Amino acid sequence: MFLTEKKHQLAHKFSDSNWLMQVAYLADIFAEINSLSEKLSSFKGKLKLWMNKVKAGKTASFPSLNILLENENYSLIHVQDTVVQHMSKLVTEFDHYIPENAHKYSWIRNPFNIEAEDLPEEMSNINTLQEQLIEIQSDEALHYDFKRQHESLSSFWLKVYKEKPILGGEAMKALLPFATTYLCEAGFSALTVTKTKYRNRLQPEDDLRCSLTSKSPRFEELVNTL
């Protein structure tokens, strides 16, 4: 509605069924990709394990190949290098999409399922961070709040920040780039309600400030000044 009112060049996209279907598809496919990221990380770890096993002549992880080697009296030596090279290329491809440093934030996603010693050593104040992580892991109230999952990660770490500012601050630094779009959406909604077709000449800046502010008016003091 806002783009249409402003006659923006992209406004027509929202009446284009093909465009809308493509956006809906992308939303769905990327949601699936996000859910697969941890599984892919696990698979990447398995690839490295399997490479070492094949190098040692062990093929139990590959049932079809193992059957051939056992029943047909084939020799692994003829394809050993090819198999190892192929898995090595797969690891390289997965590293492109899932870099190693993607795991350094796992303590933020689930602070109760990681050892303090596993925090990245390159973090500043590492000793204090490890101690504070142990302390929140021992806090039953925080653990209960986290398991309820009624709040976002940002809300949880803001609560931690009040008691453990160093650990909570590190977590918030990582979460800030992925902040919610709520404030932006609230601004559009407030503008739509405030500037209707009956008030299309309104300059809404001041009205929007009042609509979006988190501050509550001190009505008693305002009334006393009348």
Mean pLDDT of the chain: 81
Per-residue tokens: 177: 């780039």
Tokens describing residue 185: 């959406």
Where does residue 119 fall: left (phi above 0), alpha (psi -120 to 50 degrees), or beta otherwise?
beta
Output the six-digit token pair for 79: 């394809």
Residue 61 clears pLDDT 80, i.e. is over it: yes
pLDDT at residue number 81: 92
Is residue 9 classed as helix, strand or coil in its secondary structure? coil
**Which pLDDT belongs to residue 56?**
92
**pLDDT at position 53, please?**
92
pLDDT, position 93: 83
Report the pLDDT value the prediction gives residue 73, as an integer from 0 to 100: 77
The confidence band for 86, taking pLDDT boundaries of 50, 70 and 90, is very high
Question: Is 77 within a domain?
Answer: no
Tokens of 107: 């303590």
Q: How far is CA 67 from CA 55, 56, 72, 107, in A?
A: 18, 17, 8, 41
The answer, yes or no, to whether residue 200 has pLDDT greater than 80, is no
How large a percentage of the chain has pLDDT more than 90?
A: 9
Q: Is residue 185 part of a domain?
A: yes
CA distances from 139 to 107, 136, 144, 172, 173 (A): 16, 5, 9, 20, 23
Q: Given this model, what pLDDT does residue 99 score?
A: 60
12 vs 182: CA distance, rounded Å:
24
Q: pLDDT tens across 21-52, in order? A: 888 888 777 777 666 666 777 787 788 899 99
What confidence tier does 123 reach under pLDDT thresholds 50, 70, 90? confident
Our count of domains for the chain comes to 1
In a domain, 16, yes or no: no
HSE value, Cβ hemisphere, 13 Å, CA-based, for 116: 15
Q: Is residue 58 part of a domain?
A: no
147 belongs to a structural domain = yes
Residue 179 has pLDDT above 60, yes or no: no
In a domain, 115, yes or no: yes
Assign 55 a pLDDT band (cuts: 50, 70, 90): very high
Distance CA 211, CA 194 (A): 9
d(CA 197, CA 130): 57
pLDDT class of 85 with cuts at 50, 70, 90: very high
Q: Give the model confidence (pLDDT) of 147-161 as tens digits.
A: 775 567 778 888 888
In a domain, 9, yes or no: no
Counting residues of the chain whose pLDDT is more than 70, the rounded percentage is: 88
Residue 183 structural domain: 99-200
**Domain-embedded: residue 168:** yes
